[in-house]
């Protein structure tokens, strides 16, 4: 990483970028509030021979030793990333995003009802599955293209940006056309070809941690997306598989502050998939807010007892406003407001 001096001219930054680019390394320019950092990913020996320390405007050259590069907080000189999604600020430490909606889109009436309920309750975005990866080949796998149309209708009705999962590269064009945020699910966290496809789409990406993946592996997966030029990546802790079977997965809340130390990317938590039981969702959500998460992605249904997918973990739409108020109060203790 090349850290420029405060007040370095744009021409000086461009001169450094051009010299790096001549070596064939991947170059990322990251303007900060006080100074600009330039990331160079590639042959460290080749970069070391360029004499960058002596160039005009350069303050220092700092090697990044971690296996993940673009996701590293070192690369952003420890400034958290923040970006806008349809008028909502994600990341930066001042806002808290509530992403809420059904696990999977089942019907027009249900989707619109849930969308309206979560909007009134203070949600920042609407989640909903169109293409669902299911453990059983006989389980409901979503409505596909029809679901995307329903999500677009719900966005039009409520103004909420839409989050939905990209399951297969063949769906990429349709999802880009309908979604505001592309989700990569836990099962696909290490589907590197799909990560590259997601990185080339013109949409922010919400990347879920794999159920048996380390945090280093999560950040290296994020690098696949970032390397394609997409700087709007949100990380999601959704529970990992351990020896414990009382809950569906073990929610690793310790991952949130660890990630906050080691990456500049926003971090959200999925308490629904970790719990598998709606009674546990609010306590886990309070915990997520308390440890510094930038948001929560939670499942909400108008009639969970008859849901086609993951009903036991879905919150009742009628109770979402109370839930959101509780979570917002806990986020507020850390100085965060709902996005």
pLDDT of residue 77: 67
Instruction: Report the share of the chain in percent with pLDDT over 90.
Output: 77
Residue 335 has pLDDT above 90, yes or no: yes
Give 156's contacts (C-beta < 8 A, 6+ positions apart): none
CA distance 74 to 63: 9
Please say if the pLDDT value at position 250 is more than 70: yes
Q: What is the mean pLDDT of residues 263-288?
A: 98
Query: What's the average model confidence in pLDDT over 207-218?
Result: 98
pLDDT above 80 (res 135): no
Mean pLDDT of 6-28: 90
Q: What pLDDT, on a 0 to 100 scale, did the predictor assign at position 118?
A: 98
* Cα separation, 262 vs 69, whole angstroms: 11
Task: Identify the weakest region by mean pLDDT among 17-31, 205-219, 234-248, 268-282.
Answer: 17-31
Beta bridge partners of 53: none
pLDDT, residue 45, reads 65
pLDDT-derived band at 143 (thresholds 50, 70, 90) equals confident
Measuring CA to CA, which residue among 145, 139, 133, 149 is closest to residue 184? 133
Q: What is the mean predicted confidence (pLDDT) over 223-242?
A: 95
- The better pLDDT of the pair 181, 132 is held by 181
Residue (of 37, 29, 43, 46) closest to 4 by Cα position: 37
| Whole-number Å distance between alpha carbons of 174 and 282 | 34
Q: What local confidence, expressed as pLDDT, does residue 293 receive?
A: 98
List pLDDT tens digits, range 156-206. Answer: 999 999 999 999 999 999 999 999 999 999 999 999 999 999 999 989 999
- Percent of residues, the chain, with pLDDT higher than 70: 98
20-76: per-residue pLDDT in tens? 988 888 888 877 767 888 888 876 666 767 888 899 999 988 888 788 988 999 877
Mean pLDDT (whole number) for 276-295: 98
Q: Is the CB of residue 124 less than 8 Å from the CB of residue 294?
A: no
Residue 42: CB atoms within 10 A of its CB come to 14
**Can you list the domains of the chain with their CATH numbers?**
2-61 (3.30.70.1140), 82-338 (3.20.20.70)
What's the average model confidence in pLDDT over 132-137? Answer: 77
pLDDT at 227 > cutoff 80: yes
């Amino acid at each position: 990483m090349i850290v420029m001096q405060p007040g370095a001219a744009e021409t000086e930054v461009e001169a450094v970028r051009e010299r790096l680019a001549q070596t064939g390394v991947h170059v990322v320019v990251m303007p900060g509030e006080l100074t600009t950092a330039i990331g160079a990913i590639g042959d460290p020996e080749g970069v070391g021979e360029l004499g960058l320390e002596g160039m005009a405007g350069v303050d220092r050259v700092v090697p990044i030793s971690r296996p993940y590069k673009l996701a590293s907080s070192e690369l952003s000189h420890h400034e958290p990333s923040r970006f806008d999604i349809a008028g909502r600020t994600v990341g930066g430490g001042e806002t808290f995003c509530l992403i809420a909606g059904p696990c999977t889109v089942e019907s027009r009436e249900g989707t619109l009802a849930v969308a309206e309920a979560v909007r009134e309750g203070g949600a920042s975005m609407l989640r909903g599955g169109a293409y669902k990866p299911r453990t059983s080949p006989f389980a409901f796998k979503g409505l596909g293209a029809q679901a995307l149309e329903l999500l677009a209708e719900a966005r039009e009705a409520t103004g909420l940006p839409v989050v939905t999962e990209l399951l297969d590269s063949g769906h990429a064009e349709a999802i880009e056309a309908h979604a505001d945020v592309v989700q990569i699910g836990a099962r696909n966290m290490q589907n590197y070809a799909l990560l590259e496809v997601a990185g080339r789409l013109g949409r922010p990406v919400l990347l879920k941690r794999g159920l048996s993946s380390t945090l280093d592996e999560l950040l290296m997966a994020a690098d696949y997306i970032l390397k394609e030029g997409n700087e709007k990546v949100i990380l999601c802790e959704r529970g990992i598989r351990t020896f414990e079977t009382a809950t569906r997965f073990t929610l690793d809340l310790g991952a949130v502050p660890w990630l906050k130390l080691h990456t500049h990317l926003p971090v959200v938590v999925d308490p629904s998939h970790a719990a598998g039981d709606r009674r546990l969702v609010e306590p886990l959500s309070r915990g997520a807010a308390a440890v510094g998460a930038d948001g929560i992605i939670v499942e909400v249904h108008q009639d969970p007892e008859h849901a086609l997918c993951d009903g036991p973990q879905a919150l009742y739409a009628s109770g979402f406003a109370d839930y959101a108020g509780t979570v917002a109060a806990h986020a507020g203790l850390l100085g965060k407001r709902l996005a």
